[in-house]
Chain A
Amino acid sequence: MNIRLGAVVLCLLMPALALAGEYDLTVDRVEIDTGDFVKQGIGYNGKSPGPVLRFKEGETVRINVTNNLDEMTSIHWHGLILPYQQDGVPGISFPGIKPGETFTYEFPIQQAGTYWFHSHSGFQEPDGAYGAIVIEPEGREPFRYDREYVVQLTDKHPHSGDRIMRNLKMMPDYYNRKQQTVGEFFSDSSEQGFWNTVRDRLAWGDMRMMKADVEDLQGFTGLINGKGPEQNWTGLFEPGERIRLRFINSSAMTYFDVRTPGLDMTVVQADGNNVQPVTVDEFRIGVAETYDVIVRPRDEQAYTIFAESMGRSGYARATLAPEEGMEAAVPPLREPARLTMADMGNMHGMDHGNMDMGSSDDMAGMDHSSMSGMDHSGMSGMDHGSMMMDNQAQNDPFYARGSGLVPTAANGGKFLSYADLRAQNPLYEEREPTREIELRLTGNMERYSWSINGVKYEEADPIRLQYGERVRFKFVNETMMTHPMHLHGMWSILDVGAGQWNPIKHTINVNPGTTVYMETEVDEPGQWAFHCHLSYHAAAGMFRKVIVEGGPDSQQAKTEAMAEDGGEA
């Protein structure tokens, strides 16, 4: 009765509330100049990155997208909660946008924060088709700042996405220049003994992985807001002001470790959702993630924003300064991290040759519970509030114990961990999940084939969820690469062991050799994409379609019957 009444009142109010914002985007061939090289790419309104779209919570937006390319295109609104037909994934949400056509997206804005948009067709996104979204909240924010900047990162490569994919398929280490050398073999031998070194190398050979595979795409120039390190994007400030920096990682493949030497950063938002503020010296931003931080430069001097790639093969750089043209020192790249046997988990000795046969029986004998360093289920009773800071670096529960990837702050200070993230204002009531779905992240580096549960997208059945249920996803990373897993259309509640305070995200990093849990309230009908956000992993098959069955009649997916004109990555 009450609910009905509420619905009627809502319907009456709707027309008044629905302020319609109208936006126009053209998809164009553009020239991209990184300072290191100039290349042809794809952009929006004549530029890459495209414009910052500024929406208001509560409005309904109409976005007219005109395709000026000679190929299909699409735009996905990354992290936005919207009807699935507006989600922009060719073959899942809609057929795509044909050359010369204008497609009008229309959806209500039901959230606030920092997000981004990008093409979901072929490799248009790595080729430059991305931009930022900033949504102003209806009410006041739980923090204050005097000015704000979008800081959008990418890894711009001189090769086109298509060419990179061809090369990786032909020779998976094509872009991995940091492979261990014969010289390193002898220096390792003298430190660790000949047989230990041989055994180590043999084990890695068995994994069909190279030990330096922290990144499988090197040779890029890091960009911030489209500017290379020499072009030095600069944000101005008055000393004493609080500045909100909206970091967005729009890279195809690259994780960045971000710091602002001389300034600590207070993280207030992750993936568009407010978190309880945590002050750090450095943080790692996975592909497709966003982090909003507040910095407060008090002195009349320039500060560098320094974003080193996780594998230390490149960096992006920008500056905060009281005046244009000022700059601060740019730190050197640190030594690259090396994966260790721990990053292989307990799969050491396992025959990975069997993995790509898609037989789950081969895996049945594997004891996941013995991955003690990684299993979060045992941590739920742990009080993270009482965790001491000084052993945090060694014990980040989101890395395999003994992992070579555990990040440390350049100044010896605090490095953000997923374990630090707490929802500022939980979006959902906590409740028991209705069931658990295990997703093993699988692959074979030697063949550059990536999959989920050993099955590539083309050969896989969709994941079917029931409207109204709460599903617990268990990601088991059996590869040695980090995978940023992105579920479209519904939130990913990351289990950090904080119960109702678990943070809400749209992209969840799963580090090598670890198991990570997230829960999803299945509250949006339709069909959605669910994939690794590393462009070339998604294209190689680490991708699933999710179908939500049931829900409000009018919105149910007319499933399966979708034409698939535009490619899926």
Chain B
Amino acid sequence: MNASNLIVAGLAFSMSVSAFAAGTHGGGHGHGASIGEPGKASEASRTITVEMHDNYYEPEEIRVKPGETVRFVVQNKGNLVHEFNIGTPGMHEAHQKEMRMMVEHGVIQGNKLNHDMMNMDMGNGHSMKHDDPNSVLLEPGQSREVVWTFANQGNIEFACNVPGHYQSGMYGDVNFE
């Protein structure tokens, strides 16, 4: 009984590894016209500074114009690793599974990132680099920019998908004017 449970668990685990390797993470969560696309800094109409604390954003809501390009300066002011990710609630939910994998593989270790592990070849040219243009993953004290051109509308949130963070309320709303 126990043994068979273990085998099932093992199977489920290796399956999700292969689903992972098949690569939603290698660019997957930038897809979907509804959220917009990477923008050029030169086209940005303004800069919004987003501070990441343990475990919440300041501000927790931003207003944008349809089609607006915004330069986000994202600063991690907390003591833990945090993410800033622009997406729909469904995209965030899918990404949370990947982030859980990153924790289980020791890529995210509470307050630091294991960069060797992030660059490790997972097969088929995939890795856990977390280098999609709609998101940044930052250690405490780090700061980075995201330039994003929003679509005309959509159900968009910026969110931290480090396990447990989104669930406990680390997200903000993007409201269209």
Name the distance in Å between A98's Cβ and chain B's nearest Cβ: 46
Bound-state CA distance A103–B2 (Å) is 56
Selected from B9, B104, B164, B169, the residue in CB contact (under 8 A) with A386 is B104
Known: A383-B106, A386-B105, A422-B110. A294 touches B79 (CB 8 A): no
Name the distance in Å between B159's Cβ and chain A's nearest Cβ: 12
Q: Which of chain B's residues have a CB closer than 8 A to the CB of A296?
A: 167
Bound-state CA distance A268–B168 (Å) is 7
Determine if A277 and B6 form an interchain contact, defined as CB atoms under 8 angstroms apart: no
Could you tell me which residues of chain B, from 76 to 113, have a CB within 8 Å of some CB in chain A? 79-80, 103-106, 108-110
Determine if B9 and A390 form an interchain contact, defined as CB atoms under 8 angstroms apart: yes
Q: Which of chain A's residues have a CB closer than 8 A to the CB of B109?
A: 383, 385-386
Please, what's the 1-or-0 string for B157-177, where 1 marks a CB less than 8 Å from any CB in chain A?
000000111011110000000
Known: A277-B168, A294-B168. A140 touches B56 (CB 8 A): yes
Determine if B110 and A385 form an interchain contact, defined as CB atoms under 8 angstroms apart: yes
Bound-state CA distance A501–B13 (Å) is 28
Bound-state CA distance A390–B14 (Å) is 11
Question: Residue among B5, B53, B164, B168 with the most chain A CB within 10 A?
Answer: B168
List the interface of chain B (C-beta within 8 A of A). 2, 5-6, 9-10, 12-13, 53-56, 79-80, 103-106, 108-110, 163-165, 167-170
Bound-state CA distance A387–B108 (Å) is 12
A250 within 8 A of B: no
Stretch of A141-149, A183-191, A510-518 contacting B (4+ beta carbons < 8 Å): A141-149
Determine if A142 and B56 form an interchain contact, defined as CB atoms under 8 angstroms apart: yes
Name the distance in Å between B48's Cβ and chain A's nearest Cβ: 20
Bound-state CA distance A145–B6 (Å) is 36
A347 within 8 A of B: no
Known: A422-B110, A501-B110. A279 touches B167 (CB 8 A): yes
Q: A276-B164, A390-B13, A394-B6 are in contact. List 8 more A-B contacts (CB 8 A).
A: A145-B169, A266-B164, A268-B164, A268-B168, A279-B167, A383-B106, A394-B2, A422-B110
Bound-state CA distance A124–B5 (Å) is 45
A278 within 8 A of B: yes
Known: A278-B163, A279-B163, A390-B13. A142 touches B168 (CB 8 A): yes
Known: A389-B104, A425-B54. A266 touches B13 (CB 8 A): no
CB-nearest residue of chain A to B103: A385
Known: A276-B110, A389-B104, A425-B79. A143 touches B6 (CB 8 A): no
Bound-state CA distance A315–B49 (Å) is 50
Bound-state CA distance A276–B168 (Å) is 10
Name the distance in Å between A379's Cβ and chain B's nearest Cβ: 16
Selected from A242, A267, A276, the residue in CB contact (under 8 A) with B80 is A276
Bound-state CA distance A422–B80 (Å) is 11
Question: Residue among A140, A144, A294, A383 with the most chain B CB within 10 A?
Answer: A144
Name the distance in Å between A140's Cβ and chain B's nearest Cβ: 7
A64 within 8 A of B: no
Bound-state CA distance A501–B80 (Å) is 11
List the interface of chain A (C-beta within 8 A of B). 140, 142-145, 242, 264, 266-268, 276-279, 294, 296, 383, 385-390, 394, 412, 422, 424-425, 501
Bound-state CA distance A242–B164 (Å) is 13
Determine if A388 and B163 form an interchain contact, defined as CB atoms under 8 angstroms apart: no
Bound-state CA distance A294–B171 (Å) is 14
Name the distance in Å between A204's Cβ and chain B's nearest Cβ: 22
Determine if B13 and A388 form an interchain contact, defined as CB atoms under 8 angstroms apart: yes
Q: Which of chain B's residues have a CB closer than 8 A to the CB of A385?
A: 103, 106, 108-110
Bound-state CA distance A383–B108 (Å) is 12
Bound-state CA distance A553–B55 (Å) is 40
Q: Which of chain A's residues have a CB closer than 8 A to the CB of B103?
A: 385
Q: Which of chain B's residues have a CB closer than 8 A to the CB of A389?
A: 104
Bound-state CA distance A266–B168 (Å) is 7
Q: Which of chain A's residues have a CB closer than 8 A to the CB of B2?
A: 394
Name the distance in Å between A148's Cβ and chain B's nearest Cβ: 13
Bound-state CA distance A389–B164 (Å) is 15
Ordered by A's residue number, 19 sampled pairs between the chains whose C-beta atoms are within 8 Å are A142-B54, A142-B55, A142-B56, A144-B169, A266-B167, A266-B168, A267-B164, A268-B164, A276-B80, A276-B110, A276-B164, A279-B167, A385-B103, A385-B109, A388-B13, A389-B104, A412-B5, A422-B110, A425-B79
Determine if A144 and B79 form an interchain contact, defined as CB atoms under 8 angstroms apart: no
CB-nearest residue of chain A to B105: A386
Q: Which of chain B's residues have a CB closer than 8 A to the CB of A145?
A: 169
Name the distance in Å between A45's Cβ and chain B's nearest Cβ: 33
Bound-state CA distance A290–B111 (Å) is 26
Name the distance in Å between B144's Cβ and chain A's nearest Cβ: 22
Determine if A390 and B10 form an interchain contact, defined as CB atoms under 8 angstroms apart: yes
Q: Which of chain B's residues have a CB closer than 8 A to the CB of A412?
A: 5, 9
Determine if A386 and B110 form an interchain contact, defined as CB atoms under 8 angstroms apart: no
Q: Which of chain B's residues have a CB closer than 8 A to the CB of A267?
A: 164
